[in-house]
Structure formats: C-alpha cells, structure tokens
C-alpha cells in the first residue's frame, strides 16, 4: 500500500477492443507518477491524456457520478470486480490501495448478457429491460403523507432500505461463475415486496422480472456467494432467498387461480 502523498509507477495491462465485433486483446501501458491520493478513474484519466497527446485512442470506460451512487462504473482489476477493497466502487477506489511497481490487469465485465461495447465498457441494458418488465409500482400509492401513514415494521423498513442500495453496477454478474443476475433482481424484488405499497403487485412483478432475467441469458444461482462478496453495496444473499420465496408464492397463486380454488 502506498503512503498518503506518495507517487506510484505502475503498469496497466488493459483489455482493448474496438467494438462488439472485434476480438480484443491486452495492451500494456505505463502509468507513471500517479498520486497515491488519486482515484482509480483519475489515474485512468491521466493515462488517457497521455494517449490522446500521442494521437492514440483513449481507454473507454463507463463513469458518471464518481461518488459510488450511479452504478455506471465497474470493471475487473486483477480479477476483482471494482478492485480489491470490499464495499467500494472503482470510482471511489484510491491508488494508495496499490504498491509501487505493480502490474494491474483491467478487464471488462465478462458475461453473455453484458456484451463488450468497447475496451472496459459493456452493454448493461439487460438490467434496464428487467426493471422495465416489473421493477416499479403501478398502483396509486397516494401522496407522501398517505404513504407514511402506512405502518411498516422496522425490520422490513431496514431490509427494504438495504435492498434499495443496489446501484445496478453488474459486479454481482461479473463475479459469478454462472453470470447470474439473481442478487440484482433479488434486491429489486425485495425493496418493493417488503413495503406495503409494493406488496399488491408482488406475484406478477417477480414472475415478470425473473422471466425477463432468464430471457436475457443470465445464469442460475448455485449459492457460491461471490455476488454478495463483490457487491460494492454489500447487498446480502438473503435477497435471493426472498426472491425465490416470492417466486414460489407467485407460482402457487397462479396455480390456484387456474384451478379455480383460489384468490
């Protein structure tokens, strides 16, 4: 770990891929005189300024807020999604995490459902389509006062808040050997189904979101836990268990309705 105020000389081994159709390859770049206090993305900005100055194509990577909020950033650093620190997005990772002389290998998320667009940038619109399939409340929940007048048990409110912290970055998919999106979908399903406003549509919501998830080509969960371990918001695995419970309830509700027994 480099000390505060020091500079680092590093080698970046970066995945370069011109387009979704290009094969791609690793290219080494020196990153010299990097401030230990710079963020990882600031270091990449510095390397890119050098590349642009030499008339070369800068390294493409996604970013927006640079505050760990938007979920735009994310790639693998030496095989770790968002880098080696727990609970940190790559935009909030500081260069003091690394040691002088290190070689850092940067790769995009690898998943069939997240095709590489260019270099470190992947297409995560599969997540948008899962949200569009059911990640919303369409019933009238009234205004803020009405909503607040609904009693919500404190454990449910806390769990809903924890689930709502998911920023949709995709690190869970990239870290999973099956490229499963269940932690993401579980978090989105949970944050609605734990609250009274979201419960009305729970059976249809989980059914539609999971159907879309499968349609996008994400893999299944085999409970290795790598998703939660690499999640920058430390979303717990309990969200996957909750989603599976909701899915079972949804299937039973449909079966009862079709047999004329029920609801």
CB atoms within 10 A of CB 44: 25
Please state, in angstroms and rounded to a whole number, the distance separating the CA atoms of residues 39 and 99.
14
- What three-state secondary structure class fits 55? coil
β strands within 40-197, DSSP E: 76-77, 80-81, 103-107, 116-118, 121-122
Q: What is the nearest approach in angstroms of ligand FES to the Cβ of residue 45? A: 12
Which one among 77, 91, 187, 221 touches ligand SF4, defined by CB under 6 A? 187
Query: Using an 8 Å Cβ cutoff, are 239 and 185 in contact?
Result: no
Which one among 195, 231, 237, 240 touches ligand SF4, defined by CB under 6 A? 231
Which one among 40, 75, 109, 184 touches ligand SF4, defined by CB under 6 A? 184
Q: Is 93 in the site for ligand FES (CB under 6 A)?
A: no
**Residue 120, binding choice from ligand FES, ligand SF4, none, Cβ under 5 to 8 Å by partner class:** none
- What three-state secondary structure class fits 23? coil
Which one among 169, 189, 206, 240 touches ligand SF4, defined by CB under 6 A? 169
Query: Using an 8 Å Cβ cutoff, are 188 and 138 in contact?
Result: no
Q: Output DSSP code: residue 219.
A: B
Please state, in angstroms and rounded to a whole number, the distance separating the CA atoms of residues 56 and 34.
20
Shorter beta-carbon distance to ligand SF4: residue 49 or 234: 234
Shorter beta-carbon distance to ligand SF4: residue 32 or 86: 86
Provide the CB-side half-sphere exposure for 163 (13 A, CA): 28
Q: Is 172 in the site for ligand SF4 (CB under 6 A)?
A: yes
Q: What is the nearest approach in angstroms of ligand FES to the Cβ of residue 57? A: 21
Residue 50 CB contacts under 8 Å (≥ 6 apart), including other chains: none
**Residue 89, binding choice from ligand FES, ligand SF4, none, Cβ under 5 to 8 Å by partner class:** ligand FES
- What part of residues 62-81 is at the interface with ligand FES (CB under 6 A)? 63-66, 68-73
Which positions touch ligand FES (CB under 6 A)?
63-66, 68-73, 89, 91, 167
């Amino acid at each position: 770990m480099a000390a505060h105020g020091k500079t680092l000389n590093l080698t970046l081994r970066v995945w370069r891929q011109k387009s979704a159709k290009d094969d791609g390859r690793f290219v080494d770049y020196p990153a010299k005189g990097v401030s230990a206090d710079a963020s990882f993305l600031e270091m990449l900005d510095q390397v890119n300024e050098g590349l642009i100055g030499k008339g070369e194509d800068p390294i493409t990577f996604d970013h927006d807020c640079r505050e760990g909020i938007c979920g735009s950033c994310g790639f693998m650093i030496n095989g770790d999604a968002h880098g080696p620190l727990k609970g940190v997005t790559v935009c909030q990772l500081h260069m003091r995490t690394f040691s002088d002389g290190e070689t850092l290998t940067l790769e995009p998320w690898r998943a069939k459902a997240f095709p590489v667009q260019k270099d470190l940038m992947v297409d995560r619109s599969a997540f948008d389509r899962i949200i569009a399939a059911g990640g919303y409340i369409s019933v009238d929940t009234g205004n803020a006062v009405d909503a607040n007048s609904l009693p919500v048990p404190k454990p449910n409110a806390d769990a809903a808040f924890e689930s709502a912290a998911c920023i949709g970055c995709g690190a869970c998919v990239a870290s999973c050997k099956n490229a499963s999106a269940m932690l993401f979908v579980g978090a989105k399903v949970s944050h609605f189904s734990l609250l009274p406003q979201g419960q009305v549509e729970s059976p249809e919501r989980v059914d539609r979101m999971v159907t879309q998830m499968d349609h996008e080509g994400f893999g299944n969960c085999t409970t290795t836990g790598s998703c939660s371990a690499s999640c920058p918001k430390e979303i717990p695995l309990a969200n996957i268990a909750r989603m599976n419970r909701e899915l079972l309830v949804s299937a039973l509700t449909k079966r009862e309705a079709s047999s004329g027994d029920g609801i």
